[in-house]
Amino acid sequence: MKLIYPLTIGSVTLPNNLVLAPMAGITDSPFRVLCLQGGAGLVCAEMVSAHALHYGNAKSGRMLQVSPKEHPVSMQIFGADEQTIQEAARQAELAGADIIDLNAGCPVKKINKAGAGCVLMKDEAKLARLLTAAVKSVKIPVTLKTRIALNHKEFLGARLAKLAEDCGAAAVTLHARAAVDMHSGKPNVEALAAACAAVKIPVIGNGGVTDAGRAQEFLEAGCAGVMIGRGAVGNPFIFQDIIDTFDGRTPQSRSPQKRLEIYLRLVEENVSYYGEHIGINRSRKTAGYWINGFPNAATVRGEFVRLDTLPKVRALLLQAQKML
Ligand SMILES: Cc1cc2nc3c(=O)[nH]c(=O)nc-3n(C[C@H](O)[C@H](O)[C@H](O)COP(=O)(O)O)c2cc1C
């Protein structure tokens, strides 16, 4: 069974079926470019509020920007009413997105209070209206990202996958954990398999993939693709590592020194994209992932918090590298 292959989502064919998950505060343009270099077949942008776009929020508008270096890219929108979802989908298409994704899986209270994210799993009629509105408003493929369940009592993955298919979505991503579990716990592969069996559109499995073994489980359960979130933060080459493992090649092991080098490159990209202040702030948030397991991790993190210029961060990371 061939596990890695070019995956077709509507009119878009990806070079492979490994996808970077949307992660707010993380999967911005510089990180998406890095993950494409690391072998991802598709990269997803952090979720953008349709409501904020409607009111011309500049920060949200900027989140839709697509660099020519980052295709294929999927732009994720979230919202609670058809009109703003349609507008947001059109804006994302105009901005250069290859795919639009609708978020119906986010368990964050603030999002849910506004009627968006995983609460849509409880109101299938509304979810269908929003998804249909998005599908009808753009020429590019629209996908849905949701979960296998809200709680441990009832699995909804197969029904929601069918709903997505019936509304014209070109693929569905299922996070294989219940919304009550937020982002932790073992993914439920059986629930993914049930959803895969229920539809013809590609089902992309997500949740807890940090190596080729778990990716293989998802693909053998019937998933057409695998989406990776935190496993790619601090290791954007995980996609290529998985492809190499399936092809029988030893994944290029990346030394801690190399990881710091890649991280420094990302910090530099962030600074040139956002300016020094915001670029360093954003980089700091993921530092823990990059230096996880390093003997001097706590010291480096502690120092990083106090630094506010690129030359100082560069000096810290180069010094940390020497101490390894
Ligand atoms: C910091 C963070 C931010 C996230 N932001 C989003 C988001 O904007 N949209 C979304 O659909 N999911 C979001 N997620 C969920 C991820 O896309 C993914 O479903 C989840 O992390 C499980 O995958 P993983 O176990 O591979 O990390 C986020 C997760 C994390 C940890």
What mean pLDDT is reported for the chain? Answer: 96
Confidence class for position 215, pLDDT limits 50, 70, 90: very high
User: Mean per-residue pLDDT for 197-206?
Assistant: 98
Does residue 189 share a domain with residue 169? yes
Comparing C-alpha atoms, which of 157, 143, 7, 138 is closest to residue 76? 143
Q: For residues 262 and 245, is the Cβ–Cβ distance under 8 A?
A: no
Percent of the chain's residues with pLDDT above 90: 92
pLDDT at site 320: 87
Least confident segment among 33-47, 72-86, 198-212, 280-294: 280-294
Residue 274 and residue 193 share a domain: no
Q: Which domain holds residue 291?
A: 256-323
CA 318 / ligand 1 centre spacing (Å):
30
Mean pLDDT in residue range 95-118: 97
Whether residue 178 sits in one domain with residue 278: no
Same domain, 128 and 237: yes
pLDDT of residue 323: 81
Nearest-angstrom CA–CA distance, 58 and 49: 12
Domain boundary among 184, 213, 246: 246
User: Are 224 and 264 in the same domain?
Assistant: no
Bridge pairing between strands 8-9 and 12-13: antiparallel
Whether 142 contacts 89, CB under 8 Å? yes
Q: What is the pLDDT of residue 324?
A: 79
Ligand 1 centroid to Cα of residue 324, in Å, is 31
Q: Which two tokens stand for residue 304?
A: 């990083």
Verify whether residue 106 is a known catalytic residue.
yes
Residues 185 and 146 in one domain: yes
Q: Count CB-CB contacts under 10 A for residue 58.
A: 8
121, 78 Cβ separation under 8 angstroms: no
Q: Identify the pLDDT of residue 292.
A: 87
Instruction: Note whether 184 and 310 are same-domain residues.
Output: no
Do 227 and 284 reside in the same domain of the chain?
A: no
296 belongs to a structural domain: yes
Q: Please check whether residue 2 lies inside any domain of the structure.
A: no
- 227-284 confidence digits (pLDDT tens): 999 999 999 999 999 999 999 999 887 888 889 999 999 999 999 999 999 999 999 9
Q: Is the per-residue pLDDT at 295 higher than 90?
A: no
CA 323 to ligand 1 centroid distance, Å: 33
Q: Which parts of the chain are beta strand (E)?
A: 8-9, 12-13, 18-20, 42-44, 48-49, 73-78, 99-104, 142-149, 171-178, 203-206, 225-228
- Please check whether residues 213 and 277 belong to one and the same domain: no
Please list every protein residue whose CB sits less than 6 Å from any atom of ligand 1.
21-26, 46-47, 76, 103, 105-106, 145, 175, 183, 206-209, 228-231
> Which of 19, 23, 172 has most ligand 1 atoms within 8 Å of its beta carbon, as the pocket-test mutant?
23
pTM here is 0.97
CA 21 to ligand 1 centroid distance, Å? 6
- CA 109 – CA 221 distance, rounded (Å): 32
pLDDT digits (tens, 9 = 90+) for 17-61: 999 999 999 999 999 999 999 999 999 999 999 999 999 999 999
Query: Ligand 1: which residue has its CA nearest to atom 18?
Result: 229
Q: Look at the chain and report how many structural domains it folds into.
A: 2
Residue with tokens 């995983």: 118
